[in-house]
Structure 1
Amino acid sequence: MGVNTQYTATATYSNGSTADVTNSVDWSSSAEAVARVSNTSGSGSYTKGLTTPVSVGTTNVTASLNGVTSQAVTFTVTGGALVSIAISNPYPSTGIGVKQQFQATGTYSDGTTANLTSSVTWNTSSAAVTINASGLATSVAAGTSNITAQFYGVTSTISTLTVTSATISTVTILPNTTTTLPDGVKQQFTATGTYSDGTAYDLTSSVTWNTSSTANVGISNAAGSVGLATANQVSNNTNISATYLTITSAITTVNVSAAVLQSIAITPTSKTIAKGLTQAYTATGTYSDGTTPDITNSVTWASSDPAVATINSSTGVTTVAAASGTTNVTASLNGVTSNTAILTASAAVLQSIAITPGSATVAKGLTQAYTATGTYSDGTTPDITNSVTWASSNPAVAGINASSGVATVVAASGSSNITAVIGGVTSNTAVLTGSAATLVSIAVTPLNPTLALNTGFVQLTATGTYTDTTTSDITSSVTWSSANTGVVSTPGVSGIAVLYSVGSSMVTATSGGKSGTSNITVQ
């Protein structure tokens, strides 16, 4: 458990055409206690359809659109439980109005991790900061706020966000020189705010974008496409600016040319990608005026075989869904279709190794068995304990069987770093600490003797055996007892027991939870 899975949805229409509808469908999980599936759209990549494991079990994932429901896909969760959540953010201190994306990473008991950003419930401790369901925080007033995330009973560490009293001084947008776009092409603008204390922050998603003529050049203020300008018709001198509070940036001019798209070239033209991984494509247009702008976000992308790899029709990011096969990737705009790029799918590749336990203290002479869990590009997490090669950084403290992962502690102090490696991928480091050998057993001698009453006494000896196989005379340190003191007295510190009468008595030596016995018969 601990790996998110991104599902995609492809619609087939009555005319035989297909389209990626991942961000249009309504996703559902039949058992949200097992796994949650997101219905929140992301920016630049999928978020809808992202499935997050919650607990061990099985659930069915489906997608619905316009009354049509997909086949059910079984999602099985195995392995450990969620034990902790760590959150992070770009700016621990900001000026008022800055937006920033928090990230939440869950760690599971089997050592795996998962991005839980879109699955957790986000919380803020004060009105100085607001945070939405996707983890996007906005600094709204001077002060301090503790940000936390919760998921099925587990609460994250606290991330403190301080909002200073610094005020916005200037807003700068890029590109900041005159831009010429062919009709229909898009251009991403960004905004940076400089505050009175000299700090600068990305305000692209915080400002309000302005255009002097939407008919000529539109610019988006919608989530997921903020600052994205579109050339709508041939024109000159459309002014683009950005406003935050009372501060407006300098104007950038956009001209829209009548140049005609002649060809589209997409790259890379050939690629082999492992199942579960992504590949981003770019598209360059050649126009009649000789210009060659990047039109990646302007074209419509398509994959000839979505069973092999799906593609985000807007961004050109593909996700490989199969372990073999090929698909043809193309881009089209204004009736012009690109060259064909061939994407070949291959078997999932190992991306990380998690070994457990992460920390252990073991007595000299004892062993510690380690397990290794691999995380592959397709989200699977098999046990690879017997496939990796194990190593100990300090064999003088603990050696480890390179094949089985069983370590043996050979020192009474010190530590060693345990790692596992396969195919160039190295695990996290587990720390194994050696401690003094501990008592394993006690032997009392003579064992079960038969003695004459007139012998008077018997000398008993207690010998301890330790985890490192050493032995020691512990006669004077054990606690002695006699079951029948009328026959045999309780031995003293020296181990001498007095014989009182005919009969038998079980004499016991005890230390550290271990004991040894000898049944003494007196005639």
Structure 2
Amino acid sequence: MKFQKCLLLCWCAALSCMVAACSGVGHGSKPDHLVIAQTNGLLGLNSGKSFLCFPEALTLSIVFDNGHYDSGFATRAHWASSNPDVAAVSNGDILYPGSTTLAYGAGVVIPNQPGTTTITASFSSLNVSYDLTVETPTSFSVDQSSVSMVKHTSTPINAKTVVDGYTRTVTGFGTWSFTDQPADEVTGSTTSTDSSDNPLDSVVQLASSSSGVTLVAGDTLGTRTAQMALNCPDGSDVAAMAQAALQIPVNVRELKTLSLTPEFPASQAINVMTYTADTKTQTVNTTETMKTIAGFGDGVSDTQDLSGQVTLQSSDSTVIAPVIGYVSVLKAGTANITASFPVIDADGNPVYDDVDPVTSAPVTVTGGERTFKSLAISPADEQTLTALDDLQYSGIATFTDNTTQDITRHVIWSVSDASVATIGNNLSIKSGDLFSLTIPTDGPVSVDVTAALGSASDAPTVTVPLKIQALD
């Protein structure tokens, strides 16, 4: 399989760094000024920095004299760089490296060598510009030096770089392929190819999505090496440095063991929690994650996290009900939980017949029924977070019998300034995990982090302060 995770996709809408604020639409008012925003980038537009091998996509909006704006003018404006040798900017006329047909879109900045330049956008009689310094990434790395996988499973992979002291995820900025693919097969396609193109595709393939890049194991044992190539200037030393660092040997092996680790200590119950809001009793069936780790035996140190890819079974599903990767309490009592692979279908049969079934040792989960008393956030005191880093918060419930439980997944999280930080609120973006989005330029920035038990106007709520600051 071959594909390219597009360079120009937005990491997250909140990562856009506005040169000026605007909202609304024009409605025939007089154009007042232009606004440049960045839809991807390593440090954000206000840092004034770009880095070799990482083109950055810009957008352009017109702000009208009534404060409203119209966006989507990047393709209608003329873009220019005062020093194209340092960084060029495309008007749809700069080809991808090695391509004779594919070109960067309008408003894409392509760093070429260290130095300084000014990027300008012009539309009609309006102009806007910003100064840009191009620097070299310090280092590259992948999260796992090697990957071992079970047949018919998937594992995410993650590439990072260090720029200006900040560690940034760059998984989606380049072309992922396998070292056994001929160069003319690595075309930048974003769709899978027919498995007959390469017999090793039955061992493992690559898949891309909005959430990143994933290794997908097939039905054959074997080994391949995944690699990531960046769009670097011709002859750049950075390309060689990245190529050496961004390789991952992938081994598809026989599954030998499964270990199941509950989120909470065995002595802690998960509870059917009740509280009063909107003048009525609210009930929360709390949950506990079940982390499932695959082992491969024979002295193999690699393991694979199969949480969410196994079948969880409960000895009493009227007390503790299995969910994908979780268990949920339905009433007071106890149940033994096991994990099995391959996944078991509705008739109780494994969905794959080419993998020997493996079941974990059971773990006991206790369910309780308790009345909510108070809510707290941990850490409770003001934290100082380095810009562009993340911080995990937890929501802690205290019950009327003074026992406690982590209910992070069951509260609604928010941040007082969404342009500064964002925080997870569901199972795909880990609840309570706060991400800083920008680098403060005028000293530390303070925000409030809030957890609320439900959306009712009188829902139990708690807030803690957070300070975000740039690297020294």
Bucket of the pairwise TM-score, normalised by the shorter protein? 0.3 to 0.5
Q: Give the structure with the higher percent strand.
A: 1
Larger radius of gyration, structure 1 or 2? 1
Bigger RCO (CA 8 Å, 6+ sep): 2
Q: Give the structure with the higher percent helix.
A: 2
**TM-score, normalised via structure 1 length:** 0.34
**TM-score, normalised via structure 2 length:** 0.37
